[in-house]
Chains A and B, each alone.
Chain A
Amino acid sequence: MAGDYAVLIAGRLLLGLGESLTMVGMINWGIGLMGPARSGKVMALVGMGLYGAFAVGGPLGLALLHGIGFAGLMSVCSLLPLLGLVAICWFPAVAPQAGQCESVWRIVGRIWRTGAVVGLQGIGFAVLGAFFSLYFLSRGWPHPGLGLTFFGAGFVLVRLLCGNLPDRIGGTQVAIASLGVEACGQFLLWLAPGP
C-alpha cells in the first residue's frame, strides 16, 4: 500500500512537470504563431482550453473511475495527451525568443504583491479541487463531479463575456470585483446545508 502510494506520488510529480512544459510551450508557440500583438487572444484560448478541461474532466473522471476503475481511468489519462501530440506534431516550430532572459527573481521582486493575491485566491480553488468530490461522496450526495463542472463552465463563460473588461475599465477594478465574488461564493459554500 505504501508502495502504491509512492508510485502515485511519483506519477503526480511527473504530471506537474508535464503540465508546466505544456502550458509554457503552448503560450510561447501560440504567440510565436500569431504574433505578439495578438497575445491576448492566445491567452484567452489557453484559458478556455484549460478550464474547459476542468469543466468536462470532473464528472467524466469520476464516471470513468466508477466504470473502468482507477487503472483504466489513468490509462485514458495517459492516452489523451498523446492524441494531442499526434495532432499537432506536424505544425511548424517557431524560432526561440532572442535576447537576454531576465532573471526570475528580478521579475518576482517586481510582481510579488499581485502574485501573492493570485496565490491566495488559488487556495480556494485548490481546496475545492481536492476535497469537493470526497465531501460529496462522504455525505452520500449525488453528482460529486458536477461542482468542478460548474466551476469550469463559469470560468469559460466569464472569459467569453467579460474578456475585454480589464482593457476597458482597468485590471485593478476587475481584480477587486472578482475577489469579492469569489469570497461570496466561498461563503455560500460554507452556508450550504446540502447540494
Chain B
Amino acid sequence: MPETDQPDFAYRRVVALTVALFLSYLAVAMSLPAVPVYVVQGLRLDNAFGGLAVGIAFLSTILTRAHAGARADRLGSKLSM
C-alpha cells in the first residue's frame, strides 16, 4: 500500500470517496420521504404498503451485507463500490 506513506494524499482521496458516498446516499435519502408519499398519494395504496416499500430496501441491505463484505474482501473494494 504505497498510499499509506503519503497520508495527506490518501486522506484527500478518502474525502473524495466520502463525497461519492454522499451522492449515493443522497439517492437513498431523497427517496426516503418521497416513496411513502408516492405510494399513499400517487398509487392510492394503504399506509402499510408505504411502510413496506421503505422498509424493504433496508431489509435487502441487511440480507446482502454479509455477502457484500465477503465479496469486497475477495474481489477488492474498488469493484465493490
Contacts and interface: CB of A to CB of B under 8 A. Distances in A.
Interface of A: 1, 4-5, 8-9, 12-30, 32-35, 38, 41-42, 45-46, 48-50, 52-58, 60-62, 64-65, 70, 73-74, 76-78, 80-81, 83-85, 87-88, 91-97, 101, 104, 126, 129-134, 137, 144-145, 148, 152
Contacts of B38: 8, 65, 70
A160 to B, nearest CB: 14
B interface bracket (residues with beta carbon within 8 Å of A):
35 or more
Interface of B: 1, 3-4, 7, 10-11, 13-45, 47, 49-81
Interface of A is mostly: helix
B68 A21 contact: yes
B33 to A, nearest CB: 4
B71 to A, nearest CB: 7
Given A46-B18, A88-B17, A24 B30 contact: no
A158 B36 CA distance: 29
Interface of B is mostly: helix
B20 A85 contact: yes
Contacts of A91: 13, 16-17, 78
Contact of A84 (B21, B28, B44, B64): B21
14 contacts: A20-B64, A20-B68, A24-B77, A29-B80, A54-B32, A73-B30, A77-B26, A87-B19, A95-B1, A96-B75, A96-B76, A101-B70, A126-B58, A131-B50
Contacts of A101: 70, 73
A29 B26 contact: no
A69 B65 CA distance: 31
A95 B23 CA distance: 25
Contacts of A65: 34, 37-38
B24 A22 contact: yes
A80 B61 contact: no
Given A20-B61, A22-B81, A53 B37 contact: no
A130 B59 CA distance: 13
A16 B64 contact: yes
A104 B10 CA distance: 30
